[in-house]
Structure 1
Amino acid sequence: MQTAAPPMRRCAMNMLWNTQIENTCIVFRAWHISSTTTFALSCAAIAALGVLFEGLRAAQGVADARIATHLNTARTQKAPSAQDDEAAPLLSSARAAARPGVRVPDALRAGRALLYGAQVFLSFFLMLVFMTYNAYLILATVAGAAVGHFVFNARMDVDAVLAGAGGTDRGMACH
């Protein structure tokens, strides 16, 4: 006696705006939606990824502020060098013009790079979710980003915004 093979699960590929629930695959064939319940759970997971993305961006800002404070403290506590004569300000300003900023130690740069890499990965992943053109998944992505922005961006540097430097918030950019 032969048993019938289980029915093939097929991923629907829509290149147009849609509201399909069942047989939707999200990014991977393994993330196959077979019921309304799994679709609702998937929407919640995608919204959580949107919140996580905003959390990573906020963590990057906190890390940068801590690193800047550490580097500024180290710079101000540094003892004057033997080159401190009348030409030293000219030499240091020429070096600063050639390479602006303070060199960040490799260990701290590695941490910043990991945070940045996680943000880039997550932003591209959410872009792929968006490209399912599924209205519900798009809404879950945007809702997660909005909730994350609300949670992690409670403070504003009013002076920077008024000076025109506060408009660097790129939103949920892919890169």
Structure 2
Amino acid sequence: MDHHNHDMTNAMDTTTDPHADHQHHTTAKPGHDHNSMNMMRMTFYFGYQHVELLFSGLMINTPGEMAGAFVAVFLLAVFYEGLKIAREGLLRKSQVSIRYNSMPVPGPNGTTLMETHKTVGQQMLSLPHVLQTVLHIVQVVVSYFLMLIFMTYNGYLCIAVAAGAGTGYFFFSWKKAVVVDITEHCH
């Protein structure tokens, strides 16, 4: 057995043997099990102590810190929903490039018809497209932050993400035009 496997065996043994040798591990804070502090929780819990938020130095340890984190996460989720709607609005306003393409198609009795297609879009090297690209990057980063916050399984933070997303949708999406297919019969 190599040294790495020996360390893994010792790490696994410490969870079942309270007198196991801890020489291969860094020192944990007094009163805390080192292994439980580094393991990611896999079940929902409501707590405010030792909650690490996105970055290694950003630790929640008091009710006030949790309340502040709740408000910040809530606002981040509201911002995310607003950003999605704002990007859609900017895209509609910036679609200024309209092209008409005509092509011949065979018609009845050997005739030729001209079929015209309208193409609406942006140019790749345009300010609106560059702005959309930057906003897309911000939207992706914020969405992953929200996902990682939810994956802490902390009930307070999960509620903040869900409540912020719902509030943001409520405030921003009512302006969004919804296309309803009246021929759709399966609802």
Taking structure 1 as the reference length, the TM-score comes to 0.68
Alignment partners' CA distance in 1, 2:129 and 2:89: 14
Q: CA deviation at 1:101?
A: 5.0
| Cα deviation 1:124-169 (Å, max 9, x = unaligned) | 01000000011111000000001111111122435x123589xxxx
Q: CA deviation at 1:22?
A: 1.0
State, as a whole percentage, how many aligned pairs show the same letter. 26
Q: CA deviation at 1:55?
A: 1.1
Contact in 1 for aligned 2:45/2:154 (Cα 8 Å): yes
Residue 57 (structure 1) aligned with residue 84 (structure 2): yes
Alignment partners' CA distance in 2, 1:64 and 1:149: 19
Residue 66 to residue 21, structure 1, CA distance change in 2 (3 Å): same
Residue 71 (structure 1) aligned with residue 97 (structure 2): yes
Q: CA deviation at 1:89?
A: 2.1
| Unmatched segments (≥5 aa) in structure 1 | 1-6, 77-87, 166-175
| Cα deviation 1:62-108 (Å, max 9, x = unaligned) | 1101112x334xx59xxxxxxxxxxx7217x99x79xx654424122
Residue 35 (structure 1) aligned with residue 35 (structure 2): no
Taking structure 2 as the reference length, the TM-score comes to 0.64
Q: CA deviation at 1:116?
A: 0.8
| Unmatched segments (≥5 aa) in structure 2 | 1-28, 105-113
Number of equivalent positions: 141
SS of the equivalent of 1:90 reads strand
Alignment partners' CA distance in 2, 1:135 and 1:141: 10
What is the identity, as a one-letter code, of the residue corresponding to 2:181?
L
What is the identity, as a one-letter code, of the residue corresponding to 1:58?
I
Residue 44 (structure 1) aligned with residue 71 (structure 2): yes
SS of the equivalent of 1:154 reads helix
SS of the equivalent of 2:153 reads coil
Residue 116 to residue 164, structure 1, CA distance change in 2 (3 Å): farther
Residue 64 to residue 141, structure 1, CA distance change in 2 (3 Å): same
Alignment partners' CA distance in 2, 1:71 and 1:131: 42
Alignment partners' CA distance in 1, 2:56 and 2:47: 16
What is the 5 A alignment of 1:67-146? 67-68=94-95, 70-72=96-98, 89-90=102-103, 102-106=121-125, 107-146=127-166
